[in-house]
Amino acid sequence: MDTSISTVPLASLPIWVVIIDYALGVIMWTLIGRVAMNIFLPENSEFFFMKVFVKATNPLIRLFKPITPSFLLEPLVPLYVAWFFFMIRFYLMPWLLGYSVLGMLSFPLEGEISALIYHYLK
């Protein structure tokens, strides 16, 4: 019985693509995590993880400030910025790499995580 985790989809991608996708994915999920934590905690909370998420994502939120609509509620701004990272990962990267099918490259990070979960739960 083979107990190795299959990474065939990742093996077909150049390593730089995987690294870029992982970085964009971590940024996207950190922004989403900030929004989720902000449901239960204020932005200036003393909770360690909230402090880290706010400190890590504030530079990105400032960077996207010129294109952020003013009507957005302040707690939803990180979700708006995360949407841009989603769009880059799902549409721009496959298009730049010459894939004819949108989403062909989509989400190696999440694919690896789901493969690990499947591997350990089976």
SS3 122: coil
- The predicted pLDDT at position 7 comes to 46
List, run by run, the mean pLDDT of 10-residue segments along the chain (122 residues): 49 78 92 95 93 95 96 96 91 74 61 80 82
Give the burial class of 105: count Cβ atoms within 10 A of its Cβ; 0-12 exposed, 13-18 middle, 19 or more buried.
Answer: buried
* Confidence (pLDDT) at 92: 82
The verdict on pTM exceeding 0.75 is yes
- Which pLDDT does position 3 carry in this prediction? 47
47/114 Cα distance (integer angstroms): 28
Tokens of 110: 């999440």
Provide the 3-class DSSP secondary structure of residue 56: helix
Long-range contacts at 26-30 (CB < 8 A, ≥ 24 apart)? 26/109, 27/60, 27/82, 27/85, 28/82, 28/85, 28/86, 28/89, 29/82, 30/56, 30/57
What pLDDT score does 88 carry?
A: 87
